[in-house]
Amino acid sequence: MTWNKSQKASLFIISTALFLGTFLVSSINIALPVIGKQFELNAVTLSWIITAYLLATALLMLPVGRWADMHDKQKIFKYGIAVFSAGTVLCTLAPYGWFLIVSRFIQGIGIALPMSVGNAILMSIFPPNQRGRVLGISISFIYTGLALGPFLGGILTELLGWRSIFMGAVLGIAVTIAAFMFLGKGKHAENLTPLKFKGTCVYGLSLLALIYGSSTIPRVFGWLSIVLGIALMALFFRIENKSSFPVLNVKLFTKNKLFTFSTLSALINYSATFAIVFLLSLYLQKIKLLSPREAGFVLLVQPLVMALFSPLMGRLSDKIEPRFLATSGMTLCTLGLVSFAFFIGPLSIRYLQCW
């Protein structure tokens, strides 16, 4: 079946927004050593340039997803990409390290909205028999952003400085304008209970405690923060389990094993992916003494393969049992991570690219 102009425009706009979101994660990783040198930041503080962005996204995606069920998803997408573009401009102008971290948090707030509703919008405008293909395309844009980020980020950092990475603000503004022009109005759901802020607040505090604690280990306060985060997360699940209209339906985890293991595998996969890119960026430039451009080229391999195979896997998921594909993929990820964890001695560039 052919797609009409509205479907094509929506797919392109949403996919481009998702591309920007991941590009500005992976590209900034390459520039961290340069940023750290300019602002005199240690490794822990540097990690907050990444963490602030991801933390804001994680804090908002769950409540925004619930909120979007009651409001116009297209409008949420439009305002989200506008906030993201504003945050990107602020990153370009950052005079201090703390200002850059705050600007990255604003970026994360903005991108959380289109990430929460983007695929839901696509699912609402494409028929069921085409959704696997459409998701494959949108996911390929995500991984293309991850793939091009290290490579282009390295080149831009080396030639024009790290601030040039945030020239993506221009594309973000263009996407914002296109979204307001071409994305129509969404439907409002009726008879839905308003968002419950008690569970949302506990969820947010739990994430803050867990992430802050992880960044301050092995200090005693770091361990205490992690314990507090775990306790708050348990409280969040208890609140949601008793709620008639939860932000997160925790009963899905007990009644649907497929959902539980799919969510867990996604958590493990993305945690490992983002963590290893951060560490390898520092390793390649601080230990291997590679330039930002050379380090970016090394880190290009993994997300490039993801971007190339995502459309194919999307089509296969319409024909083959998705559990088989997911299990095969996680097995390969595990082998790659194990190869890093237990390798003794200096890692060669070829070895890094292979695994």
The residue ranking higher by pLDDT, 85 or 337, is 85
- Residue 203 pLDDT greater than 90, yes or no: no
Q: What is the pLDDT of residue 227?
A: 92
pLDDT of residue 97: 92
Residue 106 has pLDDT above 80, yes or no: yes
pLDDT at 103 over 90: yes
Tell me, what's the pLDDT at 120? 82
Q: Model pTM?
A: 0.76
Does residue 7 register a pLDDT over 80?
no
Sketch the domain layout of the chain as residue ranges.
5-185+251-354, 196-246
| Residue 102 in this model has a pLDDT that exceeds 70 | yes
Q: Which of 71-75, 162-166, 243-247 has the lowest mean pLDDT?
A: 243-247
| pLDDT tens-place string over residues 320-345 | 766 677 777 777 777 777 776 666 55
> Which pLDDT belongs to residue 100?
94
pLDDT digits (tens, 9 = 90+) for 25-60: 878 888 888 899 899 888 788 888 988 998 898 888
Cβ–Cβ < 8 Å for 157, 292: yes
120-154: pLDDT as tens digits: 888 888 777 777 778 878 887 887 787 788 788 88
CATH entry, 5-185+251-354, from 2.60.40.2470, 3.90.800.10, 1.20.1250.20, 3.90.470.10: 1.20.1250.20
More confident residue, 41 or 250: 41
